[in-house]
Structure 1
Amino acid sequence: MQATSSFRPAGARRVAIWAGLLLLAIYLLSAGGQPFISDGEVMLITSMRIIDERTVSLPEGASIYPQTVRRADGVLFSKYGLGQPLLAAPLYAFGRYGLGKLIGAGAGAFYVGRFLALLLPALATALTGGILCAWGARLYGSARAAAAPE
C-alpha cells in the first residue's frame, strides 16, 4: 500500500515565490536609495568604476573611506573582494544606460543606476527568503509549514 502525501511541488513553489516577493516589497518600500554605511559606498563606487571606467581602482576622493587600501604605486582599491561590486555592476549599468534612458531621466539616469545597484542586498534577501521557503516546504512536505513553521 502506498502512502499518500499532500505535498505538491507547485504549491510549494507558489508559496516560495510569494514569500520572496513579500520580502522584496518590504525592502523596496523601506529603501532609502542611499548606502547606510561606508562599506556600501565603497561597493557602489567600485561597481560604478567597473562599468564607467573599466577599472577596479577607486578615484582619489575615495581615500576618505577606511575600507580602502593604497597600493605601493599609489593606486587606491577597496579592501574587500570584488563579489558584491561585480553583482551590483549589471544593476547599475541597466539602471543608468537602460532604464534611465528609457524613462527619459537625462542626467538623472546616474541616480537610477545608483538606486538599482543599491538594491542588491534587497534582491539577495528576497531570493534567499524564497529559497529557504522552498527548502522548508520540501523538508516538511508542506507549503503551509514552510511559510509558518511551528
Structure 2
Amino acid sequence: SNSTFPNEFLLLTFADTSELQLLHFGLFLGIYLAALLGNGLILTAIACDHRLHTPMYFFLLNLALLDLGTITTTVPKAMANSLRKTTAISYSGCATQVFFLFFMLGAEYSLLTIMAYDRYIAICKPLHYWTFMDSRACVNMVAAAWGSGFLNSVLHT
C-alpha cells in the first residue's frame, strides 16, 4: 500500500533565538508555579477547614483539581522543549496530551455548568437548596462532569 503513518510531530516555537526561548521558559515557569501554588492553596484550605465542606467549595475543589490537570498536561512539555531546543513530539505523546487536555477541559466545562446550577438554586430557591444539593447529588454531579470529560476525550482522540 502507498500510505505513511507519522512517527512524530513538529511543534512551532515562539522564538528562534535561544535568549527569547529562555525568556519564554522563565515566563511559562512563573505562570505554571503560580497556578500550582494558587490551586494548591485552594485545595489545602478546603480540605483543612471543615466550614468549607459545602457544595460550592466541593465544586471549587474539583475545579482546582481540573485546573491543575489542565496546566500540567501541556505546560511542562512546552517548557522542556524550549530548554532542550527540540521541536518534536512523538505521535503517542501528542495523542496522550490531546486526550488528557480534552478530558480536563470537557470535565471543566461540565463542572462550570454544574456550578452555575448550584448558584441558581442557592439564589432563586434558597429554601429548597439542601433538598436539591445534598452531598449525594453533589458527588453524582461531579462524577457526571468527570465522566462527560472522559467521554468527550474518548470521542475526540
Provide TM-score, normalisation by structure 1: 0.30
Greater percentage in helix: 2
Relative contact order, higher structure (CA 8 A, sep 6+): 1
Provide TM-score, normalisation by structure 2: 0.29
